Amino acid sequence: MRFLTKNKDQLMQESKNYLVDNTELRNFKPGSVVRSILESINGHIAEQYEIMTMNLLQTYVTTAVGDALDEVGALFSLIRNESQRAIDASHTNFRFYIDTLTGYVAQTLASEQHTANQNSEVSEIYVHENSFTIPAGTTVFAGDITYKTTEDATFSGSTTEIYVPIVATGYGPAFNIPAYQLKSYTLGVEFSIISKYLYCENAQTISSGKFQESDDEFRYRVVHAHVGSSRANETSVRLAALSIPGVVDVVLREYVAGIGTFAVHIIAESPIPNAGLLSAVQQAVDSTRAFGIKALVQYPDYKGFEGTFKLRFVPETTADEKVLIMQQVRISAELYINNLGFGGEFVANELIQRIMEVNDKIKDVSVVSFGVGDYNPLTGINEDYNSLIFMNQTCGSDEMALAVPGTITIC
């Protein structure tokens, strides 16, 4: 740093040396007039040195903080990201569902509720003779963490489940929530019977809630702004994609459709990014690419894992405990597969160990069926499915393991 600071002791010593060399003053003892004057003057000068040092530090991106860092960022047309709500805008995570073991489907449950409402003279808005609608804005919660649905969920005919987007009612990471925690909801008296058989759950973690961008996070973007502003390079593409809320990471691949093309594979909060997220990333990436270069924002190449596993329990395990443990095992298996990442290796023994560690009341586990296919996120079909021996499987460098709800069965 070019600016050299001096503290009060240094200033006092320099002042005394000057007076000794150039004047007849020699009495610098505490309490003397000369010393008192020097201490007063040099104390104020030392304070000015400190202020100038602090102001100078606030002009450097590596040391600026708070508003000063915001001003540095403004030089690169960058604005600090504000707090964000936790949100899942996909149609693959949060769902309302009817327990099929009850024998109900949407039509029969709606009919029974409709008849009861008429007999009780309950005003109906969302329940009809053959269908019912869970309105957008319905509150779902886990303890003090609350979310609201953003779309209507209309059940009709033989429908037993519907996925809807949800958004947290508050800002920040306090509203982030693990998988299978949102199991409660609030509906009016119009749904008195339906509520007994209608359940809800989030199949994946929701972790997009964030505080305002920290100094260190914002500083990183500012430091790399000169690279990002150059456009048409890997850093600018990566920063553009990561600027979209809900994007955790990206994987870039060259020449996917020939010379002059590249693919951007999105790793999102949930295993399958929704179409809206892909569109937002596409727009952001298009603003950085060079003329004549085509960017393709795509889903990863998913390897869809399917399997059925049979548990044996210790004798004293109750029926209710078995149901709960089987659900926990399914969650554990899905999380293991979905967290393998690009080019991940599925280790058969690791999955068995994860299952056994769920609960001490699991005595043994056996594999009933196992297989892998090419999961198509647009159709929801695991294409080219192959039944395999239960053994280790390795994904290609551009492939990602996936277990969507319903593909892992525990019995």
**pLDDT tens-place string over residues 122-165:** 888 999 999 999 999 999 999 999 999 999 999 999 999 999 99
- Residue 191 exposed, middle or buried by CB count within 10 Å (0-12, 13-18, 19+): buried
Residue 231: the pLDDT is 57
Q: Are strands 381-387 and 261-268 parallel, antiparallel or unpaired?
A: unpaired
Report the distance separating Cα 265 and Cα 251, nearest Å: 5
The confidence band for 77, taking pLDDT boundaries of 50, 70 and 90, is confident
Residues sharing a CB contact under 8 Å with residue 129, sequence separation 6 or more, in sequence order: 110, 111, 114
Per-residue pLDDT of 5-30, as tens digits, reads 888 999 999 998 999 889 888 888 88
Residue 152: the pLDDT is 95
C-alpha distance across the termini of the chain, in Å: 68
Mean of the per-residue pLDDT values for the chain? 87
Residue 374: the pLDDT is 93
| Residue written as token pair 């727009």 | 283
Q: Break the chain into its structural domains and give their ranges.
A: 8-57, 61-81+213-223, 85-202, 229-298, 301-410
* 8 Å CB contact between 294 and 282: no
**Stretch 318-347: mean pLDDT:** 89
Q: Which of 47-61, 202-216, 227-241, 328-342 has the lowest mean pLDDT?
A: 227-241
- Residue 332 exposed, middle or buried by CB count within 10 Å (0-12, 13-18, 19+): buried
pLDDT over 90 percentage in the chain: 42
**Stretch 61-89: mean pLDDT:** 85
Residue 2: the pLDDT is 60
Per-residue pLDDT of 167-223, as tens digits, reads 999 998 899 888 889 999 999 999 999 999 999 999 877 877 888 888 888 888 888
Residue 31's identity, in one-letter code, is G
Residue 197: the pLDDT is 93
Instruction: Say yes or no to pLDDT of 1 above 60.
Output: no
**Stretch 35-62: mean pLDDT:** 88
Residue 237: the pLDDT is 85
Residue 230: the pLDDT is 54
Whole-model pTM? 0.53
| Residue written as token pair 């969507």 | 404
Report the distance separating Cα 377 and Cα 344, nearest Å: 19
Residue 383's identity, in one-letter code, is E
Structure token pair of residue 116: 């009861």
- Residue 123 exposed, middle or buried by CB count within 10 Å (0-12, 13-18, 19+): exposed
CA dihedral 13, 16, 21, 22 (to 10 degrees): 130
Per-residue pLDDT of 266-291, as tens digits, reads 888 777 776 777 888 888 888 887 77
Per-residue pLDDT of 359-398, as tens digits, reads 999 999 999 999 999 999 888 889 999 999 999 999 988 8
* CB crowding 35-63: b at 16 or more within 10 Å, else e: beebeeebeeebeebeeeeeeeebeebee
CATH ID of 229-298, from 3.20.190.10, 3.30.70.1350, 3.40.50.920, 3.30.450.80: 3.30.70.1350
pLDDT over 70 percentage in the chain: 97
Per-residue pLDDT of 219-268, as tens digits, reads 888 887 765 455 567 778 888 888 777 788 888 888 878 888 888 888 88
